[in-house]
A and B are shown apart, each in its own frame.
With several copies, the nearest count.
Chain A
Amino acid sequence: MTSFSARRVRADIPQLTRVVNGRTITYLDSGASSLQPRSVIDAMSRYYELRHANVHRGVYQTANEATEAYEGSRNAVARFINAPGGENEVVFTKNTTESFNLLAKSWGATNLKSGDVVLVSEMEHHANIVPWFQLRETTGIEVRFIPVGDDYRLDLSNLDELLKGVKLLSITGMSNVLGTRPPVKDLARAAHDVGALIAVDAAQMLAHGPTDVTELDVDFAAFSGHKMLGPTGIGVLWTREQVLDTMPPFLGGGGMIADVRTDGYTPAKGVSRFEAGTPPIAEAVGLHAAVRYLEGLGMENVAAHERTLTQDALTRLELTFDGRVRVIGPLNTIERGGVISLDVEGVHPHDVAQVLDQFGVCVRPGHHCAKPLMRRFGLAATARASFGPYSMTKDTDVLLEALEHALKMFG
């Protein structure tokens, strides 16, 4: 535990030495996308320099190496999330959003029928809402929302009622707006008790603490490479082998077929059924490097570090601004992570971000692709600061300084 050092992590991230507007960057936007360590960037460069080839269908050496690199990444991801069936359960997609579309349009379209309920929550990202709305259009399912309480947590007081008719509970592991971490394990039990499956939107989980799908006892998990120190262009849908085997293909094309005739086709077995076309090979290599890097840090260490940072930031925001900067999210670190949405008195989030940029501070304004949640709290937008393993208290220092300036300017 003592070996973790945010300072060392920071030294591994090339972009964190960048100077913007005369100030070294203060990166507080890991919730949107994390920054890549040198080892991830180099792994991809070396891949392209030495062993790029298309996978699966080659017998020459670099093609084998590329295939092994690609499949090796699948294996590493499976281990990282403790997938019970190993690499046979890891489907590579392009991002979390595609993962949810695959879930809805393959599993959902075949297992759900008119009147069946998909239960999501009001704090979901659009990636875990819109695909269900699309499925509703074609199949007539019901999409039901678990309400969010004034304490910024799921209101589970009516859970039994909410679960009636539910075939799938699809829930975020951590809200990308509030930082709230719903009790996924309890929800998994509740879902299974009524015979429903449970999917977890793990996009905000992977880089910030241990993610153990076996321990959580969920059935699906979706996440993105670019939010876990890895590259853009790759995501994952994990699901149990028994479930995966029942899912029909989604995208059609090369690689996902066993046979194609002029009169029809036979889909392939296993994960390849869902990977049509040339997959994100270099991206898988980069993701593997990211997984290795995170394993090196120790995800418990990262979780502890971010908890400390978050508690410190929450406390100082309160002390410094005395209510003029309101945190939209739980004010303690119980079941919450390092995503801090701010509502700054008299200053629109867009303007907050603009002023902060002058200090080199990177925060994200907007609805964060969670419009139902924003509506719930009567907000159009927040300015969101979010931590990563490379974040340090000095980032909070600069954030506070810049917020002070914004308040003064618009005051």
Chain B
Amino acid sequence: MSNLEDLYREIILDHYRSPRNRGELATPPAHRVEGFNPLCGDEVVVYLDVRDGVLADIKLTGHGCSISQSSSSLMSGAVKGKTIDEVNATIDSFKKLMTVHESALAKEEDHDDEVDLRRLGELAALQGVVKFPVRIKCATLAWNTLRQGLEELV
């Protein structure tokens, strides 16, 4: 069952059990954006407080599987306090990590290097997800919602 342990790393289970930045922000001033995964019913609501080009605060509510919830928790930690450009760069890196397809992984093990894992920090724990293509949507739900929220703010 090595595969399962690739997916459910300890850090993921930890963020699932104790999600960070959980809650709501008053809107306005914050911006609220919802994401659905219609296929599995996962929902995430992201509250963004952007000031002077910086994501000053972020909170999340919603529900879903360990992957979607830990991913949103990990995301919140990774983007909070960053400039919008930095946030966008992090979204890009994460989404890149998630599109490295299983077969590609299998072929060249060091393919990962294309994505700067160090820059992703804790987020790298989610890289096992790509071996379970159907779960990629869980992992990216919060990220797509965040991106949508940022676009709505422009």
Q: Do A and B bind each other?
A: yes
- Docked pose: A365 CA to B69 CA in angstroms: 16
| B39 close to A (CB within 8 Å) | yes
B-side contacts of A349, CB under 8 Å? 65
A410:B4 contact, CB within 8 angstroms: no
- A33 → chain B, closest Cβ, in Å? 16
CB < 8 Å neighbour of A380 from B3, B39, B43, B133: B43
A354:B7 contact, CB within 8 angstroms: yes
- B60 → chain A, closest Cβ, in Å? 15
A-side contacts of B7, CB under 8 Å? 354
- A375 → chain B, closest Cβ, in Å? 10
A259:B66 contact, CB within 8 angstroms: no
CB < 8 Å neighbour of B42 from A68, A350, A409: A350
A358:B63 contact, CB within 8 angstroms: no
| A59 close to B (CB within 8 Å) | yes
- Docked pose: A158 CA to B133 CA in angstroms: 47
| A57 close to B (CB within 8 Å) | yes
Stretch from A219-227, A229-237, A292-300, A366-374 at the B interface:
A366-374
Q: Would you give the 0/1 interface string for B1-23, flagging 1 where the beta carbon is closer than 8 Å to chain A?
A: 10110011000010010000000
Q: Identify the closest chain A residue to B13 (Cβ).
A: A410
| A13 close to B (CB within 8 Å) | no
CB < 8 Å neighbour of A351 from B3, B39, B66, B134: B66
- Docked pose: A358 CA to B135 CA in angstroms: 15
Does more than half of chain A's interface fall in helix, strand or loop, or is it mixed?
Answer: mixed
Interface centre among B13, B42, B65, B133 (most CB of A within 10 A): B65
| A43 close to B (CB within 8 Å) | no
Which residues between 56 and 71 of chain A lie within 8 Å of chain B, taking CB atoms?
Answer: 56-59, 63-64, 67-68
A59:B134 contact, CB within 8 angstroms: yes
A354:B38 contact, CB within 8 angstroms: no
B132:A259 contact, CB within 8 angstroms: no
| A276 close to B (CB within 8 Å) | no
| B154 close to A (CB within 8 Å) | no
- B54 → chain A, closest Cβ, in Å? 30
Q: Would you give the 0/1 interface string for A59-101, flagging 1 where the beta carbon is closer than 8 Å to chain B?
A: 1000110011000000000000000000000000000000000
A348:B13 contact, CB within 8 angstroms: no
- A353 → chain B, closest Cβ, in Å? 9
Which residues between 29 and 47 of chain A lie within 8 Å of chain B, taking CB atoms?
Answer: none
A350:B133 contact, CB within 8 angstroms: no
Q: Identify the closest chain A residue to B66 (Cβ).
A: A351
B64:A348 contact, CB within 8 angstroms: yes
A64:B42 contact, CB within 8 angstroms: no
B40:A381 contact, CB within 8 angstroms: yes
B36:A259 contact, CB within 8 angstroms: yes
- Beyond A354-B132, A358-B3, is A348–B39 a contact (Cβ under 8 Å)? no
| A355 close to B (CB within 8 Å) | yes
- Docked pose: A268 CA to B36 CA in angstroms: 10
- B2 → chain A, closest Cβ, in Å? 10
B41:A366 contact, CB within 8 angstroms: yes
B133:A259 contact, CB within 8 angstroms: no
B41:A367 contact, CB within 8 angstroms: yes
B133:A64 contact, CB within 8 angstroms: yes
A380:B63 contact, CB within 8 angstroms: yes
B36:A350 contact, CB within 8 angstroms: no
- Docked pose: A349 CA to B69 CA in angstroms: 13
A350:B39 contact, CB within 8 angstroms: no
A350:B64 contact, CB within 8 angstroms: yes
- Docked pose: A349 CA to B138 CA in angstroms: 13
Q: Identify the closest chain A residue to B7 (Cβ).
A: A354
Interface centre among B7, B41, B43 (most CB of A within 10 A): B41
A-side contacts of B36, CB under 8 Å? 258-259, 266
B-side contacts of A350, CB under 8 Å? 40, 42, 64-68, 135, 138
| A257 close to B (CB within 8 Å) | yes
- A207 → chain B, closest Cβ, in Å? 24
B-side contacts of A366, CB under 8 Å? 39-41
B135:A59 contact, CB within 8 angstroms: yes
Which residues between 355 and 411 of chain A lie within 8 Å of chain B, taking CB atoms?
Answer: 355, 358, 365-367, 371, 374, 380-381, 409-410
- Docked pose: A218 CA to B6 CA in angstroms: 47
B-side contacts of A354, CB under 8 Å? 4, 7, 132, 135
Q: Identify the closest chain B residue to A258 (Cβ).
A: B38
A-side contacts of B41, CB under 8 Å? 366-367, 371, 374, 380-381
24 contacts between A and B (CB under 8 A): A59-B132, A59-B135, A64-B133, A64-B134, A68-B133, A259-B36, A259-B38, A347-B66, A348-B69, A350-B42, A350-B138, A351-B66, A354-B4, A358-B1, A358-B4, A365-B40, A366-B39, A367-B40, A374-B41, A380-B43, A380-B64, A381-B40, A409-B4, A410-B66
**Other contacts beyond A59-B135, A350-B42, A380-B64: 4, CB < 8 A:** A266-B36, A348-B69, A358-B1, A409-B8
Q: Using CB atoms and an 8 Å cutoff, list the residues of chain A in contact with chain B.
A: 56-59, 63-64, 67-68, 257-259, 266, 268, 347-351, 354-355, 358, 365-367, 371, 374, 380-381, 409-410
